[in-house]
Structures are given as structure tokens and as C-alpha cells.
Structure 1
Amino acid sequence: MKRIDAVYKKLKELDQGKGATAGEIADALELSRANVSNDLNLLFQEGKVRKEGTKPIYFRIVPDGGPESEERTLDSFAEKNPSLFAVIEQAKAAVLYPPKGMPIMILGETGTGKSMLAGLIHQYAVEMGKMTGEAPFVLFNCADYANNPQLLISQLFGTMKGAYTGADADKAGLIEKADGGVLFLDEVHRLPPEGQEMFFAFMDRGIFRRLGETDIDRTAQVLIVSATTENPDSALLRTFTRRIPMILRLPSLDERTIEERFNLVSEFMREESSRLGKQIMVSVNSMRAFLSYRCPNNIGQLKTDIQLACAKAYADFVSRKKEEIKVSSMDLQPYIREGLYKETEHRQLYNKFIGFDKRYCIFAKGEKNMLLKEGENEGSIYDMIDLRVHELRSKGLSAEELESRMEKDIADYYRKYLYKVDQSGYLPSIENIVGSEIIRVVEEIIKFSEERLGRAISKKVYYAMAVHIPNSLERLRKNRKIVNPQLNKIRVEYSEEFLVAVDCLKIIDRVFDVSMPIDEAGFLTMFLVYNDQKIAEEKKEVKIIVIAHGTSTASSLAETANRLLGVQYTVGINALLEEKPQQVIVKLKTFLKEEKIKSDLLFLVDMGSLINFGEEIEQEFGINTKTIPLVSTLHVIVATRKAMLGYSLDEVYQETLAVNTYLGDDSPNVNLLEEQTDKLAIVTCCTTGKGSALVLKNILESKLKLDRNIVEIIPVNLVGKEDVQERLKTIGKTHRIMCIISPLGVETKIPQFDFNDVLNLQAIATIQELVEIEVTYYKIGEALENQLANIKARTALKDIKGLIHSIEDGLKVKVDTKVLIGVALHIGCMLDKLLSGGTIVPFESKEQYMAQYPQLYTRVQKACAALADKYRVSITEDEICYIMMFFLPYIE
């Protein structure tokens, strides 16, 4: 049975209505959580399972293995709309409130999504078992009958025959139709006072009567969800609003983040694609317009505008004006296109998106993420690794083959990346692109690395790191893992640079208040390694020359691009209106001779005979040229930037041609959050109320260097010794407790510190050392999770930690945290290789080495024996010698 089939089978067993996490399945099968998580995500993509929740994610079987429901749950909705998190949590609480939920009122401007949220609330109630799958969702707009209060009330409560003229039969109202489900009253402020009074009586007792009924009390179990654009305090009776304890306010579209607006645009585009049954291509300018234009009627208007744009594109497609359904910015309404001219937003988006260089977003039925088309992706090394690993695994390569191929791909990436930087020279304007804080961090890293390595770091590495580090931070911000498949190999082959890179991570962590994984040290290491390597590839520089009619047209275009990029690179040659073409080309030739130009040339011209200059320059000067007509400012900016990054003439030419539909992709591309390992905790205890425990917490937070993303200080109030164990057990379910600070003696193996020793600061240094070691182990666990294929990283790390402690205790030494990283990664990869049947590289002069350090050999051998016995592998003398090398400096 394949592993993925075993995972699916185990999920079926564990899914008893609430689902199961990747960790639970991994524990049950004794597999790596990372591998189980990967299999579950593949099953999710195949539509065999669905995801619920965030931290942790629960996986559930889709009945009959059918496709996952396209309806959004409140949890997945919250993931894409973080500004609504509090609102959604309130809605969930209202639905789950015993015994049958509590009435809800949704406030918000027109078009903010009140009806959509009401539908999601109904769906959530069904998913949580508060209502059956057949529970009705009844929508009623009170404004439809606002001018006829009697008819409005009869619609809601029903009518008895003869209740009024024309009532010739008994008729059930919407309350009866909504029995067991949700009744959504939109524009509830249009409900007349008498109707409100009847409603609050129903909400109080669950009893109502049809209009004209006097002797029968009817009952119904209905969750009332109402919505209004008005202030409820002035538009509704107080006796009515008092019955609605849960008030939800939806923000306007302008109050939502750009990522949320992007998600909305993408979702509406996918809906239209599903409706049309075909993919929809949306130009980048159209996307930027939808992201930036003023939308006074909020989400409702945004959806309508997108539908109209798609309808126009579809009409052009069926009438064969276009070969595909393409939404172009020129087809948009003028008020939408105005979004392209909002200077602040435009520049912000352009700077965020500039690294992707695509032309279209493609939305297709069933696709969860949009696709990108046209233009070479200049993305980060992480994107390259993600795509390459997926591609190689799909070909069925073994772990060793994949490792070998990835080693070559990563090396090629660094060579090409640094070559482009080297060819462009140092870009003085990099601060304009990445920001001053990144520059300061890179400067600190470079200075630190130069001091530690005793050699100068080139400007190309300076620039490369300045571009790379923002990619790392952005990846962390989007909760995407940083994985370096060559981490252990890099650590071994470039040990000096790796140790420096590990310390560089601390600089990044400190400045940006993040927790960089150890895998990132591998990437920084390679920048330091390639610092001194010369790149054999040779390409000619590309010079950009703008030629346009007018007294200052060309020079102004060139100056604008140069100033925006902070350089003096592109040249403008003005073609005066009274000058003949031959006079202009003489000026061009004179310039080329005086400046001794030998590089390739890209001419950006406006019109006329200027288009033909390239051929004559090629013949006379023997250099390659390309020409692009109808020049604009954006053409010049893109061409200048690409040329400075070291692109070839053909590459610069193609990239500049694509400028009319130049894409900036702000897609968050957020994978659903994986489960994370437990955070670390320091527990401060007090027996006289939480006051003393909080004092201890404040002292520790001020005196210790803590990574708040990993370490949490938890104050607790204890009643007695029996209470201690229960409280620690509860905390231990979500945290790994590093130490306890308490006035009581606690029977536990967890390190303890006396209350007074912390108050007088005597224990601070010891606690700091403990924190650094435990945080290091925490990060090693994350790194091993990405490296190991045959064992569970967290289980293995616990055993590796025990082995290291055993050696340390026997030798009476304490290894440095950087050595700790090395030895733990080495042992983890060694175990993984042994379990897969891989071979161990022989240790040179093994017998002599063992004889020279007999005490160290005996200690390491004894520690390894327990590990070998547990995992049923044979740890050879060669491997023992390799492990000895890590501890040797501490006994000499």
C-alpha cells in the first residue's frame, strides 16, 4: 500500500465527525508529520478531503471521495479576510450559544457583504451540527413591503383566511418556512414598529400567531439574522434591539487590506469563469485598476463591475473579435481605469509586484489559485525550489537523485543570480526599492561577515542579499515554509561560512522581530561562498538610448527613468522637428564614437524613420541593436531596470515589449497554515494570586533576550502542590515547558529556579543559556522536518537531544549552540540515510583516530548504541568518528 493510501485510510478511521490533524495521523502511523501533511494536501487538491480551521488544521473525508464543496466555511472565509476575524469569531459564538443560538444583527454600508455573511452563518450552523443539512435559509427584504405594513407582517407571520380583504385562504409565513433554519431579515429598519413588537415576542418565547389568528399559538425554532445600513439605536425600537445581543459590524471596502481586495477580485473572477465554463485572462493593468479604483458601493459594486467586464470580454470572444476571453484595461469603464492613475497606490503596487514580470492573471474553474502567463519569472530561489522539487518528484526520482539534481539547480541559480548583479555593477538605488531598514541590516551582516571570515565581501553579494532578504521576510509573513534541501551538505562543505550565516540570522531576527529557520542559514552561506568565485559566462552590457521628436522629449523620458531608479544609465537624444532624419542619425553616431560605445543597444523611439536607425548602426559599428517604437515612460523604466540587472539584449527587448500589459502580482498565494510544533514556555508560579507571577514575567521579559514567536512566559496562580501538576499538564498540551520558577518544590524533571533567585537576578544568566539551547533545538526540529524522509523529525530530535546530553554529561562539557546545530543535523541525516539503506562515506585514518582519542570514542560509541538499538540500524565506526569530530575541540 502506498503511503498516501495509508494516510487516507487512517483519516477515514480517525474522522469521527470532527476530522483529524496531520500530527494525529502521523502519530498513529508513526510517520513524519511533514510527509503526512504533504500527502493530505495532495488529497485535498484531488478533492478527496477538505480542510477546516487554522491552527490546527483539521482534515475531513469528503463523502464518496467527491469534490470538496465550493461553498466557503467561516474559517476559510476568515483566512482570506483577516480584518473580519473578530466579526467571524462573534458569529461563530452566536451560532454555538446554547441551546439554539442567539439572534444576530449585521451592520454595514450597502454592498459590504451582509447577505453573504448571513449565508455563511447558516452554512456554519449546518457544519457544526446545530442544524440539519436540510435546514432552510430564508431571505426577506423588509424594504419590498415597506409601504404596506400589513402585507409585510403577513409575509413574515402568515395569514388566516379572512384576516383582511383578499385573504381568501390560510397561508404560512416565512417564520414557519424557516423553522429549523435561518431567517435573514435584510433592511430590518424598514420593519414597522408593530412588526418589531411581534418579532421580539417571538424571540423571547419562540411563539407566534398568524395575522388574524386569536386562539392558536404556533412555535418555530428559527435563528434570526438581521441586517441594516442604519444606526439601530435611532432606526429600531429599543425593545427590539435589546433582544439582539450579538451585533456584527462589517467594514467598508476601503477599510479592507489590499490582500483582501485581491482575494475578492480573484474569487469573483473564478465565479465568472465557472459560470462561463471557460478560463478568463485578465491583463495586469485591469487587475491593478480593480485593486485601486474608488468603489463607493463596496463589495457589491466590485462584483457587479467584474461581471460587466467579463461579460464584455465574453461577447468579444463569441463574436470572434478575440480568440480567448480576455479582460483588457481599455475595455473597463472610465471610473475603473482611474485606479491606474492613483499615484500612491500605483507606485506601491508596482514596487510590490515588479519582480514577477507577467502579463496576465488566468482564472479557471476549479483552480484555487490564479495562474500567471507570459514573461520570465524573476522570482526568488524559494519559488525555484518549490517548482523544481514538485517537478522532480512527479517524475518519480529517488531521494538521492532528487538531492543530486537540486544541488546542481541551486548552484546554477546562484551563479546566474550573482552574474546578473556583477554585470549590472552596484545599483546605488537599491534602497529606493527595498527600503532603508533592509540596507542597514545588510550592511551589518556584511561588516560582521567580513570580520569573522577575514576577507572582503563584494558589492555583488551586498546587492544580492538586499534583494534576497526581503523575499525571505515576505515568505515568513505569508506563512510559507523556507526549505533548503541542501542544508546538511552546505553545513559540511562550507562549515566556516555556515557558522557565520547562523549568527547572521540572529541579526535579522533582532531587527525584524522574526524567527528565521536554520534552513535560511544555508542560503546566506552560499552568498558568502560565491563571493570570491568568478563567473565564466560573458554577456555584453545593454545600453538604452531614447530617441524622440521634440526639443526635450527624449531627454525628459531618460531623465525620468534615471531619477526614479536613482542612476545615470539611459541616454536621451532629442530629434528636433526641423531636423531631417539624417541629421539625427549623425548626432547618434557622434555620441557613440565619443562615448566609445561597444555594448549592445536597445533603441526606444517614438515614430517615423527613427525606427530604421538600428540597421545602419549595426552595419557601421558592428554591434547588435533592437528597436521598439511608440516609446513611453514605462517602457524606458522597464528597459533601464532590466539592462542594469544584466539581462541580454533579447531579454531586455522581450521584457520591454510586454510593458503595455505589465503585470504586478500581489497574490498572497498563501497555503493553508500547516500545524506548527508546540511553542516553548517559561512558567512563573505564585500561591498568593497572579500578582507575583506577573512581576516575575515582567522581570524576565526585560532581562532576557527572547524570540516572542517561539517563547512565551506564562504566569499561573497555584492553590497547592496538587494543583501544580494539573496546571503544568494543561500547559504542556500546547507548549514545551523549558523551566519553572516557583516558591514550591515541584516533582518534575523540568528545570526549576527559585523565586528569589530570579528577583535578585542571580538566575537570569542560567535561564538565558537554557533558552538559547532550547530555541536552537526548536529550530533544528523545523530544519530536520524538511530534511528527513524516513523518520519523524520531532521524535528523532528528542532522541538526538538525549544522545548529545549523554555525551556532554560523560565528557563534562557543554557544546556551543552553533556546534549543536551541526551535530544534530548530522546525526538526523545519518539516521535517515541508514534507514533508507544508504552508504556511509569511510572516515580517513579511522583506526589511528580512534586510538588517539579512546575516551571520546568510548563515550560516543556508548551514546550511539542506544540510538542504534531503538532505530534498529548499525552505526559504524566511521560514523562514530564523524560524530567525535564535533566534540573533539572541547576535550583538547
Structure 2
Amino acid sequence: MLIKLKELKDSNSNGASAIDIAQMLNLDRANVSKDLNKLATQEKVIKTKGKPTLFKINDGYNKNQTNNGESKEIKEHNVNDTSIMDIFLEKNPSLYVAVEQAKAAILYPPNGMNILLLGETGVGKSTFAGLIYRYAIEMKVKSKNSPFITFNCADYANNPQLLLGQIFGVKKGAYTGADLDKAGLIEKSDGGILFLDEVHRLPAEGQEMFFTFMDKGVYRRLGETDSERSASVLIITATTEDPNTTLLKTFTRRIPMVITIPALKDRGMEERFNLIKQFMIEESGRLGKSIKVSINSIKAFLSYNCENNVGQLKSDIQLACAKAYADYLSNRKDDIKINSVDLLSYIREGLYKEIEHRQLWNKLIDINKRYCIFDKNEEKIIFEENTTDENIYEMLDLRTRELKSRGIRGIELEEEMEKNIEDYFKKYMNKVYGKIDTTNLNNIVDKDIMEVIEDVIEFCEDQLKRKLDKKIYYGLAVHINNSIDRIRRNKKISNPKLNSIRKEYENEFEIALNAIKIIDRDIDIHMPIDEAGFITMFLIYDDQNIKVVRSDVKIIIIAHGVSTATSMADAVNSLLGSKYAIGINAPIEERPKNILEKVKEYIRENQIKTDILFLVDMGSLTTFGKEVESEFKIKTRTVPLACTLHAIEATRKAIIGYSLDEIYKETLEVNNLYDNNVLDYEPEESEEKKLAIITICTTGEGGAKTIKTLIEDSVKFDHNFIEIVPLNFIGKENIYDRIEKIKKAYDILCFVGPFELDLDYPQFMLDDIIEGNCIDNIQKLIDIEKTYVKMQETLENKLKNVDGKAVLKDVKRFSKTVSEALNIKITTNVLIGIALHMSCMIDRLLEGKNIDDFQGKDTYIKENLNLYRIIKSACTSLNTKYSIIISDEEICCLMNFFNPKVYLKNNPHK
């Protein structure tokens, strides 16, 4: 394609359109457009604005090449903040716990922790050890030139003396045949990492020698008695055996980080597909040609019983590729092509498994696809469609035969075919690809794009038979512009409520679908169907009060043991005074498949249609979420290694109405009570958040900035302490999502705007600001908050056993937790009282002192049982972090702060 562009360049310096190239190459215009845009992204061609869009060779492309052949784009990618471990985790999510443990071990001061890797044969322990080494270099824990020595203890297991000599080194004459002094692997690994595989083959004597080295960093070569040697080596060991029976306890105690690598059968279909893709691309690199693999072959590789895990999967793929290459060389096939009939019989059995991994097929394959093409030069998989003139009906006929051959009949067959038809037309409507440049309604939206947006808005108004409100006009323009820009930057547009929007607003959704076709046609861009859902929300806007839509997330606990999960759920429900958390037990002797069916049956019986957070302990239970998503088409998240504290936090957030992702992230953050491991998201900053006054307008940020100027001219405040944050209102519910994001960066003081929101914060109207009626009230809020901040200095001087700044932060979080659960807003004066009381209480408990009995304690708790349970559950994290026990007497004192009756009695002027 670049050659054809060069030919056109010689005759036309302005460039060529996608249609010109398509006609010259006799190819489909949409496919050509897609490839041209890809070349533009790689900076190999230049894409011009206007209609039609033109492409021409980028003469300066080679200048951007680095000396080693890497492009500027690739070089920049290499210096981003994503670590090699994070990249690995994207395609291997079941190894989340293992990766986090490995990170912690490498980064643990001063020299890292020794590691023991557990797992069946072939799970990839050696590969993971190598990944740990590369991560250590990336994080600059080890130097680039530091050694990484790998040694398999099984190679010398029949000669223990020789085995120990290999590891520790040998002094001349130490044993018969030891003719020379010889350095051992520890000496060669100095400053780096030594990986000992099959460490259970190390004799007891060797284990004892080894833990002496791990303790003191010193060792002797075999035969040395008069001197000691020292080395700084991080030890990674691996075994397929139970360490409790094959290794000395004195040895395993020196290895604090034990990491289990899950078996292939526990790693999920999508991960297995990623492995197949990786191995196929590696073989393509060795053979120097692309490899075609039939969809049935992919299904077989995904589902067959691969007893020896990743190692066997790789070997089986190499064998299949070798056979295909032999057929190609002997001219039996025109390409290197793998068909299911060519596979070994035990691999083909994977085709006949009953389990249908529909979710994966829907992501990867529509009913026209017959081959995956793997190429070392292509990161993405290329799909080859049938080249015959088969139409949709012939495709459906083939699909019907395929399903029937697998024993699928009746209603299940009808449902499957209906889904395939729906998928076909969904994908058929989105076959146009491309990108477009954008800049900035009046310096915000590019002129060419604005013309298209005006066509879209005119079309929508004509179909709706009404004019769009001016603020919707502007909001829709900015939104479409942002969507185009997002696609240009290869960012995904996803609308999780697409199906409900489509059903609830059928007419507007149909209009929106046609609107995105206008954009597709005029800008040559692939606008996904999800975007129609967003445009629909603009079209149905009205001026009714804007309400917060609370999420309904189900919390399901699954844990191994006869009553582990139900006991945890009962404890959580008792603390929170609810019956919200559900426990499903997984007896050790019961097969995971049966447990999964119990979970599915519970979802069916209770007709659950909302999001689910699964709290599980370990093993195959971590995969249940994906299975549920696949069958029920509902969104799930899974927290592994869950404890009661996780369950309390998740259930409490769910009762309040937090979204699934919010609950998931904040539940994971419970881990911060124990360590500082990096999670799979960014937690809140450790530094204190600034206060914020939020100004809101409906026509863009200009109005909000005007309000900001009015406040700055009327109120006295320190800009280092308080920030005024402008916020524009776009859409019907989106403002609450944006406010939730702002709350993560700021502590909100109040809102100022032209209308009232459904929020429990002080709110002031725009006309009051202009007339100066509420300036004193805002000033009072600021002054009280300044007093609250000064309290930190008081606590730091007063407390003996705990850091004042740290405990104040924890107490503020406690107050927020309780007020959210009670759905009340506590005044700043009361918050200050709570902070002083609780900070001193924690300090006192750490000193071993308790308060006197609370008079009438039992009666008070009984009369305020819900309040008692909420405060007791909120105290759980404090008990855990500070290793204290907050007694019922202390809880009753805290209840006084939050009890409205007591509060009003002590503050009658309120």
C-alpha cells in the first residue's frame, strides 16, 4: 500500500483518498481506510483534513527512527509508567495475587525477600522467575548487568556432594576428583538473583547450609574450614511438591514470600487464549511466515485436557505448527495452515466439550470468521472471512450444523441462533473504520467537525419534531467532538447501560443510531453503537429535578469449608444490622463445578439482574465471576483472599448505593491496613486533600468560572487551603459521577450554582451570590474548617502513643463512614468533637487504659441498635490497624455524638 501511495505521490502531490487506493488495489474501501489510518497512527503516512480525506507518504518518517531501528512512537511507549509486571498482568489476570506478592518481595527494603514458587509441572515457574528478575532491573533494585543464574537441583539429585559443590563451590581436594578450586553459583550470582528449580531435591545438609547463607549472607566452599565468603544474592526457589513434607521447616522459615502459580485449568479461557496467541506469534517469528489457524483448532486448543499445563500447551502448538510447515514445504498446502483434522486426537477432543465459552467467542469471532492469522509483525490477530459469496442465511446454516453436531437442540439452539443473528447485524452496522483530527464550539471544535455535528443536530431535531435546548446543543456538540477525539486516540467507548437505554427509549435510540451513521459517512470514522446510547441520553433530557441514581450491587461470599462463607456473611450482617451479604459454602470435598452451579442456581432463583461483587478465598473460585458474566450477561468483580474486613467494607458500601467499581476499589484498599503493596488501581493520595467550593453552570465552564470570580472577590481564604473548582453540567445523571471523582481529590465544602442538586452539602444559589446574601455563610464554613486543620497541631503535641496527623486522617474516615451509613450530614463542630475524643481514645487504649462503665449501657444499645451496629462495624478497621479493642463502653460514648436526640439536647440552639 505504501508503494501505491508513492506512485500517486509522483503524479499528485496532494495525496490520495481511500477510494483511489481501493480502486487501484481492487480492495474493499472500508478495509483500505482502516489500514491507511493505521499507517497514519504509525506516522508512516500523513492524513489531511477536509473532504475527501487524503493520505500521502510521510517523507520525515525515517528521521524519527532511532539508531537501533525503533520508531519514536515505540521509544516513547517504552518510557511510560507501566511496568513489565503490569503488562504481564493485563493478559494473565489470574496471577494478580502472585504478581503483587512478587512486586512486594522485590521492593521490600533493603535487599528484597527470598521467594518460594509453588505450582504443578509446566505452570511457568521458571518464566515467572525470569519476569521477577526483569522487574527487579526495571525498578532499579538490581543493576542492568546483575546476574540471573538458573539451576535445576534435579540434574544432580543422585550425587548430593556434586550438587552442593555446584551451588557453594569447591576447594581443591575437597573430595575425589576435586582437582581445582571452583566457584559456585552463589559466588557467580553475587549482586543478582539465583533461581533454584526443583529445590525439594536439595538434601537436608544443603538446606541447612543454604539457610545459614540466607541468615548471614556468608558461606563456605565445600572443603573450606578456615575462612568465610560473603555475597549479596536474592534467592528464588521453586518446587512442584508440598514444601511442608519435602523441605525443612528451618529452611522454609527463611523464605517469607511463598507464591503459588495457578494451574492452566484455573486460569480462565481468555488467559489461555492469550497464551495460544503468544505461542503462535513466537512460532510465526521462527518460521518467518504468518500462520493460519482454523477457529475449530482454536476451540480445541482452548478446551482440551492439557495435563502438563502451559509447558505442554506450548509443545503441542509447536508440534502442530511443525506439521503445518511440513505440509507447506511439500506443497500439500498453499499456506502454513492448521485445521482441526490435523491435530492429535487428544487435542481434538476439546472440540466436543460440553462447555460453550460464548463470551470469548462473542469478543473474538463472528459467524463469518473461519481462520485466525497470527503474524510476528502484527500485535493484533487478523481474521480471515469466508471468501465465497455466502450470505447471512448460508452462514446461519453452517452455524446451525455446527451446533447440532455438538448435541445442541431445541430452545438452546434457538437462543444461540437468535444471538448470532443479533451479533451479525450489530457488527454489520459498524464496518467503517477511520480517524479524524480535532482541535477546540468557537476555538473548541474544528470547523469540519462542527459542520458534521450541525448536520447531526439538525437531523435529530427534525426527527424529534422539536428544537433542542441551547445547553443541550452545546453539550452534544462538545460530547461528539470528544468522542471523535477519543476514537482518534484508539480509546475504547463503552456504555454499560446500552441495552436498558435501547429498550427504555426505543424511538430516541433509533434516531441516535442514524445520527452516528451520519458521522460514519461524513468523517470516515468508526463510531461504535455504544455512542448511540450516550447521544440518546442527550435527546431525552428534560428540566426535571436531577436525582442521584443509586447502584444496587449484590455481595456474594464464597469460601472453602462447610460453613466458612455463611459464617462470614452472618457476622457481617449482624454488625451492619442487615441481611445483605450472601454466603455460599464450598466444602473441600465438593467439586468446583458443583459449587459454580450452586452460585448460578442462586442467581436464577432470585432473578438477579444487577452487578455482583464476589468475595472469594482462593483457587478456582476466583474464576466464577467470568463464568457468571458469560451466562447471565451481568457485570461482576472478584476480590480474592477475602476476609471479614473486606466483607464488611464491601457490604456497607453496597447498602449505601456505591457502584460496583467503587466498591471493588475501596474493598481492595482495605489491604492498605496491612501493607503498602501497589493495587490494580490508583488509591487516594496519601497527602491531605484540599478543600473545594464547587461552582456549577449548565452551558459550559465559562459560567462556572464567572461564579468563581465572584466568590474570590467576596470571600477571604487561603488558596493553598481551599480551591474553587468550576464544573459544567452535561447530561442527565453524569454530574453525580463527576462529583464522585472530585470527592477523591478534594474535601467538598459547598456548592454554588443556578439550581439545587440532590446532595447533602451546603448549597448556595447564584442569585444569592450576586446579591451578596450568602457570603457570610460561606466565610463561616471556611473559618470553621481552618479551626479543624489547626487541631492537627494540637493532637501532635498531646498524643503520646500515636502520630497525630495519621490518627486524625483515620478518625475523619471513620466519621465519613458512619455519616454515610446513617445518611446524615454532621456539622463541623461535632466532627471536631469526634476527632478530639477518638484520637485521645486510641492513644489511651494503646497505653492500656480503659474508661469506666457506661451507665445504662445495655438499655442504650438496645434502644439504638442500628446506630450501635454501624459504629461497631466502622470501628473494625481501627481495631485492626492499631491492634486495640474498642469496647462497648467506648462505642456508647461515640453513639452520643451521632445520636440526634442526644445532639439536640446538648445543642438546643440547633
TM-score (norm 2): 0.44
Higher relative contact order (CA 8 A, sep 6+): 1
